[in-house]
Protein backbone atom coordinates (compact mmCIF):
# COMPACT_ATOMS: atom_id res chain seq x y z
CA UNK A 1 0.00 0.00 0.00
CA UNK A 2 1.33 3.42 -0.95
CA UNK A 3 1.43 6.03 1.78
CA UNK A 4 -0.06 9.11 0.12
CA UNK A 5 1.29 11.39 2.85
CA UNK A 6 4.88 10.32 2.11
CA UNK A 7 4.29 10.60 -1.63
CA UNK A 8 2.82 14.08 -1.26
CA UNK A 9 5.70 15.18 0.94
CA UNK A 10 8.23 13.86 -1.58
CA UNK A 11 6.42 15.64 -4.42
CA UNK A 12 6.46 18.88 -2.42
CA UNK A 13 10.20 18.46 -1.85
CA UNK A 14 10.76 17.93 -5.58
CA UNK A 15 8.77 21.05 -6.43
CA UNK A 16 10.72 23.09 -3.88
CA UNK A 17 14.05 21.73 -5.11
CA UNK A 18 13.11 22.32 -8.73
CA UNK A 19 12.08 25.87 -7.99
CA UNK A 20 15.31 26.47 -6.09
CA UNK A 21 17.38 24.88 -8.84
CA UNK A 22 15.62 26.90 -11.51
CA UNK A 23 16.45 30.12 -9.69
CA UNK A 24 20.05 29.20 -8.86
CA UNK A 25 21.11 27.23 -11.93
CA UNK A 26 21.84 28.60 -15.35
CA UNK A 27 18.27 28.19 -16.58
CA UNK A 28 17.02 31.60 -17.67
CA UNK A 29 13.44 32.40 -16.77
CA UNK A 30 10.91 31.59 -19.44
CA UNK A 31 9.01 34.68 -20.56
CA UNK A 32 5.27 34.47 -20.08
CA UNK A 33 3.33 34.15 -23.30
CA UNK A 34 -0.04 33.05 -24.55
CA UNK A 35 1.62 30.23 -26.49
CA UNK A 36 1.24 26.91 -24.69
CA UNK A 37 4.00 25.15 -26.64
CA UNK A 38 7.30 23.87 -25.31
CA UNK A 39 10.52 25.77 -25.71
CA UNK A 40 14.16 24.91 -25.07
CA UNK A 41 14.00 26.30 -21.54
CA UNK A 42 11.16 23.90 -20.72
CA UNK A 43 13.19 20.96 -21.99
CA UNK A 44 16.27 22.17 -20.10
CA UNK A 45 14.13 22.40 -16.95
CA UNK A 46 12.97 18.79 -17.48
CA UNK A 47 16.58 17.61 -17.60
CA UNK A 48 17.27 19.53 -14.39
CA UNK A 49 14.20 18.04 -12.72
CA UNK A 50 15.24 14.53 -13.69
CA UNK A 51 18.74 15.15 -12.31
CA UNK A 52 17.36 16.48 -9.02
CA UNK A 53 14.81 13.74 -8.39
CA UNK A 54 17.32 11.07 -9.35
CA UNK A 55 19.78 12.38 -6.75
CA UNK A 56 17.00 12.27 -4.17
CA UNK A 57 16.11 8.68 -4.97
CA UNK A 58 12.65 9.27 -6.40
CA UNK A 59 12.99 6.41 -8.89
CA UNK A 60 13.32 2.73 -8.19
CA UNK A 61 16.14 0.71 -9.74
CA UNK A 62 14.12 -0.84 -12.59
CA UNK A 63 12.84 2.61 -13.59
CA UNK A 64 16.29 4.15 -13.84
CA UNK A 65 17.04 2.85 -17.35
CA UNK A 66 13.89 4.40 -18.80
CA UNK A 67 14.36 7.66 -16.93
CA UNK A 68 18.01 7.84 -17.99
CA UNK A 69 17.09 7.14 -21.59
CA UNK A 70 14.57 9.98 -21.66
CA UNK A 71 16.99 12.32 -19.92
CA UNK A 72 19.74 11.52 -22.42
CA UNK A 73 17.42 12.05 -25.40
CA UNK A 74 16.34 15.43 -24.01
CA UNK A 75 19.95 16.42 -23.38
CA UNK A 76 21.00 15.35 -26.88
CA UNK A 77 18.13 17.38 -28.32
CA UNK A 78 19.32 20.46 -26.41
CA UNK A 79 22.87 19.95 -27.67
CA UNK A 80 21.66 19.59 -31.27
CA UNK A 81 19.52 22.70 -30.93
CA UNK A 82 22.48 24.66 -29.56
CA UNK A 83 24.66 23.49 -32.46
CA UNK A 84 21.93 24.43 -34.95
CA UNK A 85 21.58 27.90 -33.43
CA UNK A 86 25.32 28.57 -33.35
CA UNK A 87 25.75 28.92 -37.16
CA UNK A 88 22.69 31.18 -37.34
CA UNK A 89 24.09 33.39 -34.59
CA UNK A 90 27.51 33.49 -36.27
CA UNK A 91 25.90 34.48 -39.56
CA UNK A 92 23.85 37.24 -37.93
CA UNK A 93 26.92 38.49 -36.10
CA UNK A 94 28.96 38.54 -39.32
CA UNK A 95 26.23 40.47 -41.12
CA UNK A 96 26.03 42.99 -38.29
CA UNK A 97 29.76 43.71 -38.43
CA UNK A 98 29.84 43.93 -42.24
75-97: pLDDT as tens digits: 999 999 999 988 877 777 777 77
Q: What angle do CA 44, 73, 67 make, to 5 degrees?
A: 90
Domain boundaries, the chain: 60-98
27-57: pLDDT as tens digits: 555 555 566 788 999 999 999 999 999 999 9
The DSSP code sequence of 6-37 is: HHHHHHHHHHHHHHHHHHHSS-PPPPP-S--S
Of the candidates 79, 70, 33, the residue with the CA atom closest to the CA atom of residue 49: 70
- CB-count exposure of residue 3 (10 Å: 0-12, 13-18, 19+): exposed
Amino acid sequence: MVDTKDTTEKMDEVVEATTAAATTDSIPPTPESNDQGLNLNDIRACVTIIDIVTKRGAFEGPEMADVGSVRNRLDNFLKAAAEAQAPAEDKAEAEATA
